[in-house]
Amino acid sequence: MLPVAQCINSRCQGLLRFCSSFTSSTESSSDASCWGTVLASFGDFAWRLTACWPRVLRIHSSSSIHFYTRLYRILEMDFESEPEMGNVPPWPFDTFTLSDGRSFQLADSVARSRCLDGCSLYTSRAILGSDGVVVKWCWSITRMHAVRIIETAVSSAKARGDLWIVDHLPHIIRYEERRVDHQDFGHEHGGSRTLQLLVEEELRPITELTDAEELGHAFLFFFFFWDVCSKGTQSAEAFQDPPSGLREFHPTMPGNMSVSNISLPVNSGGSVGFEPTAVTCTAAITAAGLIRLGLMAYPLEPGHAFLGIFKCYRWLYERCRLMHRNINLNNLMSRRVDGNVHGVLAGFDMAVVLEHSYKPHPENPLAFIACDLVEPSPLFPIDQYLYRFDLESLLYALVLITCHYEHGMLIPPEKQPFKCWHQVGSTDGDMYLEKIHLLTGGLGRWKPTPQFSSLFWLVGHLRESFKHGISAQDKFRYRKEVETGVVSEDGFDGDTLGGHVTFDSFEAVLRSKQPPSTPGRALASAEP
């Protein structure tokens, strides 16, 4: 299917899904309001279609420009001077031939981001045969590539006998490194470069999940995987804790429960079987950090579902010695197979092996960067990346999902309580104050969308961990300066904010009983 045709088909399918969601909406919604929203969505679709053709014709007419020269311009252009390029397809209808003889036809742009060491990563859609794929382009730099990070995770899974995790990693179709010299550039750019090209299946954003059950269950699914693998290489030992945790989550679990790809037989006595041959899992592991949320086939409480994601991250950190360092909504993906949603963690381009020395970096989108990295303190410099930074990024992702999304779409900007987080021109100082207020201030601005209100209590309780940790850190610094006259935090555990932000403290919150159903009352009760 041609790229434009596939774009039309994708938009139509999205519109049909959107219309279907309204047919099942509550009777309180007026017909006029429903149809008005549908027509608005269709109008947006029509606008995008009509706006696409001039760009297609204009860009395709410049096909005399060498392919690599155009790619160079896309990857090397100034992000601030041409921010709109993230929405412009650079080469519709161009065909690129891989070294194995297969060819794909390029379609529209997906995203453009800055990687480590200032290197740009460009992502575009393409058609390979009859399948839609995603192609990632970047110039080679001296660090561990995302493909090798995924291979490291797969090797670790094979060593533990957990082959099922592969179903929740990005499916790599082809990876190449191609030398590009000045002839390929049309003599416009001197020297030569190595182009890294990665072809993957196209995944769906996690923000398209449309209710708390899907979102929360996906979280549980992934953390469950993390915890399973963290137990060691013995499969029987690995499953000792998670099944009891699942039983704790839902005491009335039926005899043969199927949780997405996780099949946990329960005997007549009500306990879960732990035999390796009786346990089949397909959880999303990521070589570097967090996993894209998926859907579990049996309803569990959203709070305990979130526990699943946390455990997955913990396993990757403790067992694979990998840290993602780029947790944001763009890298939390999902794939649907046979009606089930599987979470997939994407975007390993900033992931690192902990044995290597990597200093903290501000390469994540500003809305997801931890406070200590948004505006580092000159008096208390941070010389290494900490796992609590990823936990903080995960908290911000949960905040934005629960407050900004409904029916798989962003709510209107005027209703977004944290819309300033995404505004172009926001300074580091502005964002630091916003996040400090979120972590330590009041709850007046917080308002979850109705479909995610049952998950929002988690935000309040997880936020408390950071609030108490930041308070403990400030008190220690002040006391140290008063007593010794020296500005220092020697003796304070800054890695975990005095023990308040740890894997164990997060798990304790996630395992606690859910507070009252009213989000406002639940969050207010968390205030001291």
**Alpha helix ranges (H) inside 79-211:** 146-160
Q: Report which of residues 133 and 512 the model is more confident about.
A: 133
How many helices (H) does the chain have, and how many strands (E)?
14, 15
Q: Report which of residues 373 and 517 the model is more confident about.
A: 373
Residue type, 224: F
Out of 100-109, 257-266, 330-339, 367-376, which region has the weakest mean confidence (pLDDT)? Answer: 257-266
Residue with tokens 């140290």: 480
Is residue 97 scored above 50 in pLDDT?
A: yes
Tell me, rounded to whole angstroms, the distance of Cα 473 from its chain centroid: 29
310, 399, 482 from 298: Cα distances, Å: 19, 24, 56
Share of the chain above pLDDT 90, in %: 5
Q: Quick one: pLDDT at residue 279?
A: 25
Are the CB atoms for 137 and 90 separated by under 8 Å? no
Q: Report which of residues 438 and 186 the model is more confident about.
A: 438
CB neighbour list of residue 26: distance below 8 Å, 6 or more residues apart: none
Supply 224's token pair: 């469950």
Residue type, 177: E
Are the CB atoms for 354 and 273 separated by under 8 Å? no
Among candidates 323, 380, 367, which has minimal Cα distance to 116? 323
Supply 162's token pair: 């957990």
Supply 131's token pair: 């399948």
Q: Quick one: pLDDT at residue 187?
A: 52
Residue type, 231: K
Could you tell me the pLDDT band of residue 117, with boundaries at 50, 70 and 90? very low
Q: Provide the whole-model pTM.
A: 0.62
427-432: average pLDDT: 81
Is residue 469 scored above 90 in pLDDT?
A: yes
Supply 471's token pair: 């308070």
The SS3 call for residue 125 is strand
Give 377-386 pLDDT, tens digit per residue: 888 888 888 8
What CATH number does domain 67-143+171-203 carry, 3.30.200, 3.40.50, 1.25.40, 2.30.110? 3.30.200
Give 188-207 pLDDT, tens digit per residue: 555 667 777 888 888 777 66
Q: Quick one: pLDDT at residue 425?
A: 61
The SS3 call for residue 333 is strand
Give 39-82 pLDDT, tens digit per residue: 444 444 443 443 333 333 333 333 434 666 666 666 655 444 44
Could you tell me the pLDDT band of residue 91, with boundaries at 50, 70 and 90? low
The SS3 call for residue 140 is coil
Supply 483's token pair: 């007593």
Mean pLDDT of the chain: 64
Q: Report which of residues 210 and 264 the model is more confident about.
A: 210
Is residue 500 scored above 90 in pLDDT?
A: yes
Q: Quick one: pLDDT at residue 234?
A: 31
CA atoms of 275 and 343, how far apart (whole Å): 25
373: exposed, middle or buried (Cβ count in 10 Å: 0-12, 13-18, 19+)? buried
Could you tell me the pLDDT band of residue 116, with boundaries at 50, 70 and 90? very low
Give 288-315 pLDDT, tens digit per residue: 222 223 222 222 333 333 555 677 677 7
Q: Quick one: pLDDT at residue 54?
A: 34
Out of 160-164, 325-329, 366-370, which region has the weakest mean confidence (pLDDT)? Answer: 160-164
